[in-house]
Structure 1
């Protein structure tokens, strides 16, 4: 059943919920590819560092919505696994700066590339004359929700939070 008219707000919400379901399946599938290497909270930290650059533990805790001790344990495991480096923050030596190692960057790129391919497959099933409109609508939706690439956006990439 193809639905082209959205007469009510509920129709609009339902359409976006259906699209969100597709995107969540894409996100979940990409996480499965790396679940033997990192947990979901650890992947969130890696994605956060990838998009925001070096951060201190306080910023990681705020991003995860957890106490600093939880963020410390998560980051300690990422350092031990070789995904994150930790050094004195050049701006304030009282803090440690966390950054991705090449291995951590590669893992994030693997997840993102998986999502790009999966989304490209879905877009290829959209009628060619509607693809630009879909991309424009999705960009507007992401901007309205404070999505990736905005100043106040949280970088979860569908990883909860």
Structure 2
């Protein structure tokens, strides 16, 4: 539990880096799109666990802020496709980079001869978690699913 507390603290601190620009639900939308590519409003509503009208308002604010783009879905014009703008991608990457650096600072404090064991255990832990983050390690949600 102590390790979970440290990881949670590091994740929360990385959110502080961007909380002056977006709310937590807005950040969840941006991370969802960063992880899984363009989304429609239905997918966003399901991910947030909210009614479609709430998802629409959240996404509208992100579009106005210049962090999310909205266009017709080329495969089905009945749907809108939501994607990150370059500014939206930069915001998510800023948060993730802060998280990555904070974790690296903690890992550097682990005795060198123990780091391999810790990395192996954390990899097994991530695998057992069942896909809560990306396979390539670029982004992780950590935002309260």
Q: With structure 1 as the length reference, what TM-score do the two structures score?
A: 0.84
Question: What residue in structure 2 maps to residue 128 of structure 1?
Answer: 112
Who is 2:133 aligned against? 148
Is 1:76 the counterpart of 2:60 in the alignment? yes
Aligned counterpart in structure 1 of residue 123 of structure 2, from 118, 136, 139: 139
Unmatched 5+ residue regions in structure 2?
A: none
Aligned equivalent of 2:73: 89
2:40 counterpart of 1:33: no
Q: More displaced, 102-111 or 139-148?
A: 139-148
Distance in 2 separating the partners of 1:20 and 1:65: 24
Structure-1 separation of matches of 2:67 and 2:134: 23
Give unmatched runs, 5+ long, in structure 1: 1-16
Within the alignment, does 1:49 sit opposite 2:53 as a pair? no
Query: What residue is the counterpart of 1:158 in the other structure?
Result: 142
Question: Which protein shows a greater Rg?
Answer: 1
Q: Per-residue deviation at 1:91?
A: 1.0
* 1:24 lines up with 2:8 in the alignment: yes
Secondary structure of 2:79's counterpart equals strand
Shift of 1:141: 0.9
CA deviations on 1:35-54 (whole Å, 9 max, x unpaired) are: 11000110111011011000
Shift of 1:149: 2.4
SS at match of 1:96: strand
Three-state SS of the structure 2 residue aligned to 1:25 is helix
Contact 2:134 2:140 in 1 (8 A): no
Q: CA RMSD in A?
A: 1.3
The one-character-per-residue Cα deviations of 1:47-90 (angstroms, maximum 9, x if unpaired) are 11011000101111111111111111110000000000000001
